[in-house]
Amino acid sequence: MDARQRFVNTLKFKEIDRIPLVEWPIREATLREWVRQGFPEGISPCEFYSMDTIWIKPPIKTGMHPFFKEKIIEEDDNYKIWIDNLGATRKDFKDDKNPGFVTRSWLKHPVESREDFNEMKKRYNPADSGRFPEDFEKIADAYNMAMSPVIISIPFLFWTARDWLGFENLCMAFYDNPSLLHDMFEHITDFAMEVMKRAYKYIKIDAIELEEDMAYKGAPMVSPEMFRKFMFPHYRRFIDFAKGNGTEIIMVDCDGYPGGLIPHWIEAGADAMSPCEIAAGIDLFEIRRQFPQFGLLGGIDKRELAKSKKHIYLEVMGKVPEMMDKGGFIPHVDHAVPYDVSFGNYSYFRQLMSSIAYGEPIKEPKE
């Protein structure tokens, strides 16, 4: 069984030969620390650890295009105020020493009125020739023959509207400007469907990842009631469209603890969520109890991997074997692997995962 069928079968609760051995791409700051600790340069972690490729993504631009031109407004020795490629004005550290693990500060967002929204729509033209490579029809054959799952990530409703309005303004718009928000969500969905129509002409898409990030620690950022009123109809029509075109897996990419949103995702047709962040309050076994046919990805507490081998062993063995038996689970670190997880600790984690997958004996470490 190749990685492509293994991925789909796992999330469809079908028979598999073993669990997928995958990880999200290792970020630059983490890999930099590992190289200092002995990780060989010039080889990818996926190859080094003999992991499955988690997925491959066709070169299709499913979000803003063209981007805004980045511009520095002012800077000193420590900070810069600048306009990023999404049109937001931000204050950030001038020297990004740990890319992927920084907190950003937003000062202004590109959409403050309906007129701004009408201007923004020009950057979401599905017919823009730059959304697909010129030789797309030719390279499509390679994706159709791939042995790894083919997915497309789409910045979807909450994610895109937050980029336009900013988090606080988006939350207020549910109450203060509902007509604008309804129009935004309709446009985002229409746009995504039009882009995907061309993709479906040439490529078999195994999964679509709806990028949302609409939850934080302990709760979602939007109430289930508001999701139902504003977002559910668009989820339903997009997912019906995607599955009608042969996509088997719809994943909601949502950091944090989505809680009461999950049953609405499921009713709309979603098959899985990723990543399951333990620090946010996710309990894998409780979600599996409540939603026995909903796929889960992630779930390995990154904080435990920064401790001892004993902690790593208990984290992995306390979750993975039982969740494997329940099905629909693809284990990996519950978000990006942080740079305080050592090369040695991560290597031990991968050793454990391989031993579980291939049924090899596992001894509990003493410390």
pLDDT in tens, 206-242: 999 999 999 999 999 999 999 999 999 999 999 999 9
For the segment 65-89, the average pLDDT, to the nearest whole number, is 96
Task: Determine which helix (DSSP H) or strand (DSSP E) holds 157, and give its type and residue range.
Answer: helix 157-165
All structural domains of the chain with their residue ranges: 3-64+111-358, 69-109
pLDDT digits (tens, 9 = 90+) for 160-216: 999 999 999 999 999 999 999 999 999 999 999 999 999 999 999 999 999 999 999
Residue 100 scores a pLDDT above 80: no
Per the CB < 8 A criterion, the answer to whether 217 and 280 are in contact is: yes
* pLDDT for 211: 98
Model confidence at 143, in pLDDT bands (50, 70, 90)? Answer: very high
Strand 71-75 versus strand 295-300 pairing type? unpaired
Q: What is the pLDDT at residue 244?
A: 98
- Sheet containing 89-93: order of strands: 71-75, 79-83, 89-93, 105-108
pLDDT at 97: 79
* Separation CA 236–CA 270 (nearest Å): 9
pLDDT at residue 101 tops 90: no
On the question of pLDDT at 90 being above 90, the answer is yes
Rounded to 5 degrees, φ, ψ at 277 are -90, 115
Instruction: Give the span between the Cα atoms of 27 and 29, in whole angstroms.
Output: 6
Going by C-alpha positions, the residue among 196, 160, 257, 253 that lies closest to residue 58 is 196
Please say if the pLDDT value at position 288 is more than 80.
Answer: yes
The span from the CA of 255 to the CA of 212, in Å, is 8
With contact defined as beta carbons under 8 Å apart, do 282 and 262 qualify?
Answer: no
Mean pLDDT of the chain: 96
Task: Rounding to the nearest 10 degrees, give the CA dihedral for residues 127, 254, 250, 179.
Answer: -50
DSSP, res 148: S
- SS3 call for 23: coil
Tokens of 291: 């939603």
How do residues 334-344 score in pLDDT, each as one tens digit?
A: 989 999 999 99
pTM: 0.96
Nearest to 19 by CA among 352, 358, 362: 358
- Return the pLDDT at 273: 98
Q: Which residue reads 């620690």 in tokens?
A: 217
pLDDT of residue 258: 97
Topology, domain 3-64+111-358: TIM Barrel (3.20.20)
First to last CA, the chain: 36
What's residue 87's pLDDT? 98
Residue 41, pLDDT > 90, answer: yes
Q: Which helix (H) or strand (E) holds 242?
A: helix 232-244
Q: Is pLDDT at 261 greater than 90 in this prediction?
A: yes
Q: What is the mean pLDDT of residues 359-367?
A: 92
- The predicted model gives 336-358 an average pLDDT of 97
Q: How far does Cα 114 stand from its chain's mean position?
A: 29
